[in-house]
A and B are shown apart, each in its own frame.
Chain A
Amino acid sequence: MNQPNQDLIASDINAYLSQHENKSLLRFITCGSVDDGKSTLIGRLLYESKVLFEDQLDAVASDSKKWGTQGKEMDFALLVDGLAAEREQGITIDVAYRFFATDNRKFIVADTPGHEQYTRNMVTGASTCDAAVILCDARQGVLTQTKRHSYLLSLLGIRNVVLAVNKMDLMKYDESVYTEIVESYQEFAKEIGLDNVTPIPMSALCGDNILARSPEMPWYHGPTLLSYLETAEVNDEFRRNAPFRLPVQWVNRPNLDFRGFAGSIASGTVKPGDTVRVQPSGKTSTVARIVTHDGDLSEAIAGQSVTLTLEDEIDVSRGDIISTTEEPASTADQFESTIVWMHDEPMHAGRPYWLKIGTKTVSVTITDIKHEVNVNTLEQTAAKQLELNAIGVCNINTDQPIAFDTFDENQETGSFILIDRVGNHTVGAGMLHFALRRSENIHMQATDVNKARRAELKGQKPAVVWFTGLSGAGKSTVANIVEKKLAAAGHHTYLLDGDNVRHGLNKDLGFTDSDRVENIRRIGEVAGLMVDAGMIVLTAFISPFRSERALARSIVGEGEFIEVFVETPLAIAEERDPKGLYKKARRGELKNFTGIDSPYEPPENAEILVDTGTLSAEQAAERVIAEMRKRGLLEG
């Protein structure tokens, strides 16, 4: 707090409060690599705005002696490096949020680390920001990472960008150094469509052009960093002028007379009497009231959390978007999108994930990775999977139509996250480009002879019995006995296994993780068709990943999928080694062999578990038949 403020606080606290209750809020991110002075800049901002207390400064002073890199000087970076592990390593490893305020604004700073995991953390931090400060070391000029940060900011649609040419003190505050950097940067910025970049020469360590104009750089006439941040337009202001959207979070139904739709207004404004369209159903109605605890509103604007009631009793649920009828949100189930991958486990085309957009969560499959973008060179390369921190343009397919806008039109209703269906991690972030129109032209053909009729003809209940386990566990052996028993009882069966599939349908696939995912997806689909034909299908594949087994399960109906985990300790399977594959793998002649250098994810809730280490193949098969009988899939 600067001095005049202290006086006002002391003399007239009420005046101070009324002034400070009406500040606006700006969120910004600082980007830069390890040595660009990012933490120093944030420490400086906190210091200049006097939000640090004596005890915090004392702690920093004592820490500076222990870990500081600035000699006897106060090391501002230590203020912002939080976790103990990081302090010891002298690096930051996650996104941290800092707070400070001036007389006009409150600021929330997202501080992201400048090394590995960078893309993930920066995208996370920037997603909620109104503005960004890209730090660039005056000694180094525009580096690859400066470009990478800029590209990510343009990808996320950040509107206000500062190019902070830092450490000018080390370049004797030379104007030509600054001009050269700015010129080369502007050229690149234009290339990636990043307009509205404001360059500022500064020294975070010495405080030049941070709060006060630097006497060392009289040649610079633009804003100081703080004066820029105090006046930059916040997203709310921008969003207010977009068409009205309210993703419904929660239906508020305290009694029979009240039915309100609670949510945060993503964009635009709304008044009682406005006609609205509910997407994806397309039904229309009129806004009756805007209910808040403080009283009904005559108008609500982007950013407010409100509850709407409608004139008509139409069906609205969580995940729907209430939008203006003039420019309603679109609906579709196939899209092109950019996806940023954020997890150690790579993204595979064909694998299903959860997709959360607005307040809606649906199942989604990545149908095609069109290309990967190299964040350093911006080159497009072909890819079958996206690794951690990779960015790709992908086609995706949701299992039901969703309401959306393109990310360019509306960041709130055009952005999504991807969630792993097994571990529930947030594994990706995406931005919708456009809907693929072909989705409108593919319809399911309703046939007169249906699954039930076909099953009736065969006098059996169709099902998939899915055997999974390590190579050599005995899947094929057990499945073969089960099929013989079923056939003997007059059932129409089919055993899908590696040989009859890999030699035909899937002969284009190898053994990488991506190919394994696609292999199992196709088998799941084939099994689904056969069940539809009324058959009992047995499959015997290693099928190492939970996600794909979950996908196969979701293709057939409830109760028609029986997962049989053929469990055998790796040592026993390796000892059996019927095809000699383990030996080859151990010798390094066979890559990506499950159990050796490729993972196997055991089922968590398999219907049947048979341990072929203790049971004979015949006993195991009996166990399976008994279980099928118990589940009502077999008579008697």
Chain B
Amino acid sequence: MGEPAERLEGRHVAADGSAAAARLRLVIVGHVDHGKSTLIGRLLYDTGSLPDGKYEQLVAVAARRGVPFEFANVTDALQAERDQNVTIDTTQIGFRTARRPCVLIDAPGHKEFLKNMVTGAAGADAAIVVVDAHDGVREQSRRHALLLKLLGIGQVAVAVNKMDLAGFDAGLFDRVAAEYTAFLATLGLTPVAVVPVSARDGDNVAGPSGRMPWYGGPTIADVIDGFTVPGPAAGGPLRLAVQAIYRFDRRRIVAGRLESGTLRVGDRLLFLPSGKQSRVRSIEEWSAPVRHAATAGETVGLTLTDELFLGRGEVACTLEDTPSRTARFSARLFWLGRRPFVAGQRYTFKLATQEFTGEAVTLSAAVDASTLEPVAGMETPQLAAGEIGEVTIRTHRPVVVDPYGRVPALGRFVVQDGLEVCGGGIVLESDEPAAAMAPVAAHLTRSHGLVSREAREARLGHRGAVVWFTGLSGAGKSTLARALERELFARGRQVCVLDGDNVRLGLNADLGFSDEDRAENIRRVAEVARLFAEQGTIVITAFISPFRSDRLRARAILQRDGLDLPFVEVYLSTPLEVCATRDPKQLYARARAGEIPAFTGVSAPFEPPDQAELVLDTSRRSPEEATLELAGYLEPRIEIR
């Protein structure tokens, strides 16, 4: 596509060089009817931020309907909201203080509309909690503060409202302020100010009040000007969440958002969970000058020096500072769904651009349901809407996470129940970087025997290793595995075969052929292979192992804790037609007849490896040739160092 802008009657002007002041996003929360929308309406009116004619229009509408004018009507745009004087959905409205532009976010206070409150509050930089002086600290006053804390909003102020109805009583104000401040302290929140206001009349909103001479603190407008706008984390560890891979104009572009850190052309990137590596060749941008660096918050398009097969959900980082690649992490979770969140039930999780399934293997309430104060370790089978819990999530695939406190964008996720987003959570901690899977039980210690690995190797005359065959059914895995075992045994090597069917007849008799069960099957085999290899045995495995991620995990298991034994992935690339013709177990015939569901190559996918140590097509080689080639490859790698 050309660049026809010049030919259209565009008015070419010098770009407006003045960088706009950072816009503060401020959410107003609190219990229903405590006066959030009224406070917003008043702030807009008193700072001259309402559009021309809006105030007069609303006054006239109220008069026509025979109801008193309410400042809340400024933001309660929906007919139902005006009829019932309750905010249903969150809304946002721009406004200016003397210092800078702001966006005010009105969040509903009614329990029923909690998901709308979260929608409004999640994007805020700071919050004002409105508490009715007379009604005092109520359920949603507490719940909203809990959610603010979970949503990562640390800048909080309190407006004690309706002081006009409380006779501007300093004693009452002090009691409410003390009670609420004490509650916030249990959450680790300290308000920057507690302001007595009458939102209806404007006392201490945009200007000081003459009716509360006992108060010498800031007004709401002062408080707003004191909040800071946090910038994106340009100095944090490099994390690029891959959103999509595009092919435009013969370029292969990795598109994603830099969630943290700074990226430069020439940087070496590690992609997780796949483990692939490459360098940044260029940063691509249309209609913009050539760039050599990008910083947190930017959506970027990269070309790499290697043609990697990558997909959405990969996270790029540097080799020095990686997130965790794990199948298990602990999290704090808030639930908004009509149906409860149930431990052990499968849900879909979305974390940055990753989407995965998993379930809670532990669940405990994080907050007492009646007092809403934090509690520790009360096990519970489920969470209802509005409840907050601590969970351990087990995922069905390795995922890439950071603790929320370290990289927020990779430490927070939403939970989907069916088609609906029903909750969210923040990652508290996860495994060591790139670990395969953490143990269920805590307080485990690895024990070490008195016979060293070196001593075993010296006796055997070689090191342990894992030879991992992968390929379609009928590709020749079992045949070659047995032939290689016999060849190595004849050469005096300690060797064994872990065969697919044999393992499924015993150790893995509880597993079927779903994606999850296949993953678990491979995980167990890899763990067993590791145990043998550590003792000096050359372990040969013969499993279809169709998923790339499972094989990567097997490799990670063998290399865990710095174990440096060879892992030799052998891909038998024998064509499907040849495998189906061989069909030693008559499986293809049965699969095509529909008797075997999810049969690899027929009705289930096989993901070929792109970095296998060896690729062999057994339709082009005799088993004898292939065996000798394999043994020849292996021998130098198992020599004692």
Specify whether A and B are partners.
no
Q: Which residues from chain A sit less than 8 Å from chain B, CB to CB?
A: none
